Amino acid sequence: MSIWEYANPKKFMQTTGFLLPWVSGLAGLTLAVGLIWGYFFTPDADKFASTVKIIYLHVPAAMMAISAWTMMLVTSLIWLIRRHHVSALAAKAAAPVGLVFTVIGLVTGAIWGQPMWGTWWAWDPRLTAFLILALFYLGYIALWAAVENPDTAADLTSVLAIVGSVFAFLSRYAVLFWNQGLHQGASLSLDKEENVADVYWFPLLVCITGFVLLFVALVLARTRTEIRARRLQALIARERVA
Amino acid sequence: MIALLIRDLRLAIRAGGGFGLGLAFFLLVAVIVPLGVGPEPATLAKIAPGILWVGALLSCLLSLDRIFALDFEDGSLDLLATSPVPMEGAVAVKALAHWLVTGLPLVLAAPVLGVLLNLPVQGYLWLVISLALGTPALSIIGAFGAALTVGLKRGGLLMSLLVLPLYMPTLIFGAEVVKRGAAGMAVGTPLALLAAITAGALALLPFAAAAAIRVNLR
Amino acid sequence: MMPDLGKYAEAVIWSYVSTIGLLLGVVVLSVWQGRRVKRSLEEVEARHEESDA
């Protein structure tokens, strides 16, 4: 029993077909609990007043935006090295979800920045880096859409994902150099001493779990769609030949 | 490989437009910006480093699709792929040719445009140095973008979308060097980082670009 | 029992609305695409089985 068994599309479809309802249900449940807890049952913070509630959207979305790209990088590498189609399709399936998370991070950040920093947008390093990340997502999705042959598209986008990761990383530190930011330093870490207070920490944890589960559910569902679409194309091509 | 370089240079100079077009665009940017933001010397001096770098970047972008597109259409790229020269080397040479016909003229013309934009005196040296260090990175990154989109019929716009985010670190450090130089501050750190990015891009991107071309020729 | 959001109510509400809207958007889009592809695949597969038989 190894993880590579799931590279077989049939096996992947079977397993995910069974898993998907559970993951989706769990994702919905966790998100609902986390967001309701965050919205209704947390106190206001001294400095942020009620806007502290935005953290339950902003932080998980931002984390997942980066994680989604990382996942795309890993699946792209797997495709390049081991030529498993499911892997390439999973990367393709994840991109739009990652883009949506990036946009959520930017939008909630802008809405939060308005009352806190007095501006919708500032050329703060993290904001700038996120905008650049959004551009990378757009380029990646556009390249998938532009190349007709699916294997060529998978190869090219994989190369782009690898090079893009390096440059996204560079940009992250370049903008840090370029402008000092308004963001506070890391407020979440495994080191408990530096964490935000427990009242905010627990609902935030639930929300992060919810976002992760939602991402997994969406990627599974979208990968299934991509596999079906690929089979559909193959069948139609065969019909034309016959 | 030298023969390839000479051939590419000849084609660029002869085949009407490739050469000089980027330079003319650079000049236009330097003329248009003062018309847009007003002629106050102080304002212009402040934004000059950024404008010059953005202008160099855009004029570089303009000529990128010529790197591979023509060779792809007439089949010489297939010939290159079967020739004893490794594709990585061919990519590097083509990027070098691109740099010689667009990057180098930009470096040489930049001080003149600096006058137009009222760049402070201390800035000129750093402007030339930063462009000389940064434009090779623009060419090789551009060659990678062009390699990704070479098989597409209307790849130009997509290529800009792919290449511009990759240009950002170079732009940030390059403009920072000039900005600091013009203000009379120490430029060592951004200059070293700019050089590091160029060196890294030159060392690694030919492999990625060659891989992309092989995929596109399949 | 709405919580009192104070003077920042708008900011908080708009963040929740926009986030939930965007998330719903991507979920609905994925489900819709999935259904459409699944349906057309079933059609084509049915056609194939007929022609094979």
Domain, as residue range, for A168:
57-182+213-241
Q: For position A47, what pLDDT does the model report? A: 63
| Residue A226 lies inside a defined structural domain of this protein | yes
Closest by CA to A62, choosing from A138, A130, A141, is A130
Residues C35-43 have a mean pLDDT of: 90
∠A156-A99-A90 over CA atoms, to 5°? 50
| Nearest chain C alpha carbon to A108 | C15
- The first and second tokens of residue B87, run together, are 């594709």
Res. C5 pLDDT band, cuts 50 70 90: low
Torsion sign (Cα): A101, A163, A76, A63 = negative
A237 reaches C (C-beta below 8 A): no
pLDDT digits (tens, 9 = 90+) for B119-158: 888 888 889 999 999 999 999 999 999 999 888 877 778 8
Distance from CA of B162 to the nearest CA of A (A): 5
Most confident range (mean pLDDT) of A19-23, A122-126, B76-80 is A19-23
Which of A102, A130, A141, A143 is best to mutate for the B interface (most B CBs within 10 A)? A143
Give the Cα separation of C16 and A239 in Å (integer). 48
- The first and second tokens of residue B170, run together, are 């170079």
Contact of A42 with A53, CB cutoff 8 Å: yes
Residue indicated by tokens 């106050």: B40
Closest by CA to B86, choosing from B198, B202, B201, B209, is B209
C27 pLDDT more than 80: yes
Q: For position A134, what pLDDT does the model report? A: 93
CB-CB under 8 Å, A50 with C12: yes
- The first and second tokens of residue B91, run together, are 């990519």
C41 pLDDT more than 70: yes
Give the Cα separation of A56 and A104 in Å (integer). 12
* C31: Cα separation from own chain's centroid: 5
Q: Which residues of A14-24 are buried (b: 16+ CB within 10 A; e: fewer)?
A: eebeeebeebb
Res. A48 pLDDT band, cuts 50 70 90: low
| Residue A67 lies inside a defined structural domain of this protein | yes
Write the single-letter amino acid at A175: V
pLDDT digits (tens, 9 = 90+) for A205-226: 899 999 999 999 999 999 999 9
A98 pLDDT more than 90: yes
| Residue A11 lies inside a defined structural domain of this protein | no
A109 pLDDT more than 80: yes
- Residues in chain A with CB shorter than 8 Å from the CB of C9 are 50
Q: For position B131, what pLDDT does the model report? A: 92
Contact of A107 with A116, CB cutoff 8 Å: no
CA atoms within 13 A on the CB side of A74: 6
Q: For position A120, what pLDDT does the model report? A: 74
Q: Which residues contact A85 (CB under 8 A, 6 or more apart)?
A: A7, A9, A79, A154, A227, A230
Report ipTM (2 d.p.): 0.84
A111 reaches C (C-beta below 8 A): yes
Residues A221-232 have a mean pLDDT of: 91
Give the Cα separation of A171 and A137 in Å (integer). 14
- The first and second tokens of residue B185, run together, are 């501050």
pTM of the model: 0.87
| Residue A203 lies inside a defined structural domain of this protein | no
- The first and second tokens of residue B69, run together, are 């597109």
- The first and second tokens of residue A36, run together, are 């309701």
Give the Cα separation of B69 and B149 in Å (integer). 9
Give the Cα separation of A197 and A94 in Å (integer). 33
Residues A5-32 have a mean pLDDT of: 87
Contact of A30 with A210, CB cutoff 8 Å: yes
pLDDT digits (tens, 9 = 90+) for C10-25: 788 888 889 999 999 9
- The dihedrals phi and psi of A49, each to the nearest 5 degrees, come to 55, -135
CB-CB under 8 Å, A160 with B152: no
DSSP string, chain A: --GGGGGSHHHHHHHHHHHHHHHHHHHHHHHHHHHHHHHHS-PPBTTTBGGGGGHHHHHHHHHHHHHHHHHHHHHHHHHHHH--HHHHHHHHHHHHHHHHHHHHHHHHHHHHHHHHHS-S----HHHHHHHHHHHHHHHHHHHHHH--SHHHHHHHHHHHHHHHHHHHHHHHHHHHHH---SS-S----SSGGGSPPHHHHHHHHHHHHHHHHHHHHHHHHHHHHHHHHHHHHHHHHHHHH-
Domains: count for chain A: 1
Q: For position B38, what pLDDT does the model report? A: 81
Neighbours of chain A (3+ CB pairs under 8 A): B, C
| Residue A7 lies inside a defined structural domain of this protein | no
More confident residue, B47 or A93: A93
pLDDT digits (tens, 9 = 90+) for A148-201: 888 899 999 999 999 999 988 888 888 777 765 555 554 444 444 445 667 778
| Residue A49 lies inside a defined structural domain of this protein | no
Q: For position A91, what pLDDT does the model report? A: 93
CB-CB under 8 Å, B165 with A136: yes
Q: Which residues of chain B have pLDDT under 50?
A: none
- The dihedrals phi and psi of B157, each to the nearest 5 degrees, come to -70, -45
Q: For position A192, what pLDDT does the model report? A: 42
Contact of A230 with A89, CB cutoff 8 Å: yes
**Residue of A58, A100, A115 lying closest to C22 (CB–CB):** A100
DSSP3 helix / strand / coil % (chain A, rounded to 5): 85, 0, 15
The neighbour count for residue A157, using CB atoms within 10 Å, is 27
Res. A139 pLDDT band, cuts 50 70 90: very high
**Residue of C1, C2, C18 lying closest to A107 (CB–CB):** C18
| Residue A237 lies inside a defined structural domain of this protein | yes
Residue indicated by tokens 């000049």: B27
Residues A38-64 have a mean pLDDT of: 80
Contact of B137 with A132, CB cutoff 8 Å: no
Q: Which residues contact A161 (CB under 8 A, 6 or more apart)?
A: A69, A72, A73, A76, A91, A140
Average pLDDT, chain A: 84
| Residue A10 lies inside a defined structural domain of this protein | no
B150 reaches A (C-beta below 8 A): no
Give the Cα separation of B120 and B181 in Å (integer). 9
More confident residue, B62 or A50: B62
Q: Which residues contact B193 (CB under 8 A, 6 or more apart)?
A: A174, A177, B173
Residues A4-8 have a mean pLDDT of: 72
Res. A121 pLDDT band, cuts 50 70 90: confident
